[in-house]
């Protein structure tokens, strides 16, 4: 059950991020894939490279971020 706005946004777009190959580990507000992970920080969604930990892309909404990545 989503208790935050970020959690609600994850639930709302679950079909789209699952189709892109992301998985949600546990109940965290985090989405993971082999080439990166997505977290909600500072009022925006950010995707990081897991090897370097560097920011790769960001957007105001989860939907907008998912549209930017392939």
Q: What is the pLDDT of residue 47?
A: 98
Question: What residue ranges in the chain does DSSP mark as E strands?
Answer: 30-33, 36-41, 44-48, 55-59
Number of Cβ within 10 Å of residue 68's Cβ equals 12
- Predicted confidence (pLDDT) at residue 4 exceeds the cutoff of 90: no
* Mean pLDDT computed over 5-13: 93
Domain ranges of the chain: 5-68
The model carries a pTM of 0.88
Q: Cβ distance 14 to 29 under 8 Å?
A: no
The pLDDT of residue 11 is 93
pLDDT in tens, 10-66: 999 999 999 999 999 987 889 999 999 999 999 999 999 999 999 999 999 999 999
């Amino acid at each position: 059950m989503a208790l935050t706005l970020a959690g609600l946004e994850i639930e709302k777009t679950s079909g789209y991020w699952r189709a892109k190959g992301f998985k949600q580990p546990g109940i965290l507000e985090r989405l993971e894939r082999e080439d990166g992970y997505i977290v909600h920080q500072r009022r925006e969604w950010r995707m990081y490279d897991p090897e370097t930990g560097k920011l790769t892309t960001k957007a105001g909404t989860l939907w907008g971020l998912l549209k930017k990545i392939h």
